[in-house]
Amino acid sequence: MQLEVIKSFSLSIGTKIKIDQFGLLEGSLRNRKDGITYFGYNGINSNNNIDNIEEENNLDYLLPIKHCDNPGRFFKIQYIKKLNEYILKHLEKGFGTFIKIEDSMYLRNKSIINIGDVYLAIFFSEKNSDKKDIYGFNCDLKIKVYNNNNNNKEYTFEKENEKDIKIGRSNFGNDIELNDNLISKINCVIRYNNIKGWMIKDGSDTILKNGEIKRNFSKNGTWILLNDNIKITDNMIFKSNFNIFKCNFIPE
């Protein structure tokens, strides 16, 4: 498989990072061939000063960044032989590893959503503890907004209200209005599913005159913080510390 850099402040756009079942194919700093590729920052800034040194041989691929108070391993890609698949895992360093929501995804309690420069923290308000699960089945939804322009507002939505919760730019009739030019008019929609729980969908749908449904994706995406291992799929997009990568599987 390979990662392609599609946006970055420190890496060249179009850079392709090739990984196989043993790890990084070329230029590994760790050079262990154990099926794991660690990405991160070693604590040396652009002026060659040491912020908080992390041994270079703990990394396979260096992600140079200007400022980081929490250097070390940001994320890893690991080949799981028995499943014949690659997984991505955030390693609690840096500024977080976020997956781009291409279509829709179920929310979990304490999920963190990023759109533009805004972060939304998701919490489930218990209605019946016997039926509650991690996806918020039978729970109301609480959303906390974190952004300097939005004064850390808090919203609560009842699951009995089957109306879509629209999140987007201010002055466009959204349920949660955000003052951020990086956010689309309707950036994402959250709705309650009676079978599973709360789910989030990027963009919005428009019903055309002929009855067809047109999908309108957001301009800059809807992103969710990675808390667990996730299977890497073809064309999956994720970001870490101002670098955006696209995953592709290439023929052997």
pLDDT in tens, 206-229: 877 787 888 899 999 999 999 889
Cα-based distances in Å from 146 to 115, 119, 143, 186: 11, 5, 10, 18
> What per-residue confidence (pLDDT) applies to 219?
92
Q: Give pTM, 2 decimals.
A: 0.87
Cα-based distances in Å from 127 to 132, 157, 164, 197: 8, 12, 20, 13
> What per-residue confidence (pLDDT) applies to 46?
46
Q: How confident is the model at residue 199 (pLDDT cuts 50, 70, 90)?
A: very high
**CA angle, 19 then 24 then 30, to 5°:** 160
Amino acid at the residue 150: N
> What per-residue confidence (pLDDT) applies to 73?
93
For residues 167-187, average pLDDT: 93
Q: For residues 229 and 193, what is the distance between their CA atoms, to the nearest angstrom?
A: 24
Under 8 Å between Cβ of 212 and 205: no
DSSP state of 83: G
Q: Given a cut of 80, is residue 6 above it in pLDDT?
A: yes
Under 8 Å between Cβ of 116 and 180: yes
Q: How confident is the model at residue 53 (pLDDT cuts 50, 70, 90)?
A: very low
Per-residue pLDDT of 111-134, as tens digits, reads 999 999 999 999 998 655 555 566
CA atoms within 13 A on the CB side of 92: 1
Q: How confident is the model at residue 47 (pLDDT cuts 50, 70, 90)?
A: very low
Q: Given a cut of 50, is residue 48 above it in pLDDT?
A: no
Q: In whole numbers, what is the pLDDT of the chain averaged over residues?
A: 87
